[in-house]
Amino acid sequence: MAGDWLQVLEPMFMTARITVPVKKKKNFGQGGLFSYFARIQSSAGQVTAAVAAAIDAGYRHFDCAYVYQNENEVGDGIQQKIKEGIVKREDLFIVSKLWCTFYEKPLVKGACQKTLADLKLDYLDLYLMHWPFGFKAGEELFPKDDRGMAIPNNTDILQTWEAMEELVDAGLVKAIGVSNFNHEQIERILTKPGLKYKPANNQIECHPYLTQEKLIKYCQSKGIAVTAYCPLGSPDRPWAKPEDPSLLDDPKIKEIAAKHNKTPAQVVLRFQIQRNVIVIPKSVTPQRIVENFKVFDFELTKEEMATILSFNRNWRVCTMSISKTHKDYPFHAEY
């Protein structure tokens, strides 16, 4: 459970394609956008520099979250490049996430405004509910009981969703979505009486060892874009165990990579792109930021795609184990 704090900070980024239907049927984020992000463990200066380097490399989609505790530094990097004339605000697709301690309806708008202030922006392109359950409101990001389990609040996610819809109407966000929701939880939103805006996106852990085929098929059938976090299997996660599988060291992935004269990471990213899944790897290393972008000059064969899909073992990097006893814990369901 010590890894839960770090696990939830893990999703970072890149993009294949995202079409987000919002109010007035306007679409945002179409095209070959890529996004990149920096780890929370990085220093403030390193995060700002990494964001600037990503923009210089061509990245335009940035995946952020209140809980990463670095949105101020991300905002500094974005503003630096806007002031330099490298990009305009409308060139960028900025995503952030509502943290679980702000799920009570009266708290949602203030949480969004805090994120906007830190990022130094007037609006977000996409705002997600980070998990399908709320935590006790307060200063602690991960309030725990004496057993070390997360202290929930009793807010229904449908109430939180109504507050998310109000953010669209207020012009604070262009579109809203979810993260780590299973199909039953998404269905609850879609069938909610009086629904104004359906989820535009579901951001989920996804990689060759957790292919999420059923959930992706469900979301795409409902017109909900899917974003894959931890697409490389998070090889540098601090809570890794010696017995955990190492995705980028998989001999079959290395073999496919060699055939295309690419790295295993590039093959794994390309795999998601060919599934019409948005992919968000992370790095603060300029060389890797550039390398992760070079996935549009080759294509995996049908046989190679099938081979990679066959690696699925339903293995998760991010389990959020402190919430396993929560009634809305998403990973007890099949998908």
Pairing outcome for strands 27-28 and 20-21: antiparallel
Q: What share of the chain is helix, strand, coil (3-state, %, to 5)?
A: 40, 15, 45
Contacts of 227 (CB under 8 A, 6+ apart): 15, 18, 63, 201, 202, 203, 204, 277, 278, 279, 280
Closest to 67 measured CA to CA, from 158, 15, 131: 131
CA 32 to chain CA mean position, Å: 17
User: Burial letters for 95-121: b for 16+ Cβ neighbours within 10 Å, e otherwise?
Assistant: bbbbbbbbbbbebbbebbeebbebbeb
User: Among 36, 59, 68, 218, which one carries the catalytic annotation?
Assistant: 68
- Across the chain, which distance is largest between two alpha carbons, in Å? 54
Residues pairing with 8 in the sheet? none
Given a contact cutoff of 8 angstroms between Cβ atoms, the answer to whether 14 and 36 are in contact is yes
Decide if 66 is catalytic. no
* Alpha-carbon torsion (64, 68, 71, 74), positive or negative: negative
The residues that bridge with 226 in the sheet, in sequence order, are: 202
> Would you please indicate which residues are annotated as catalytic (active-site) residues?
68
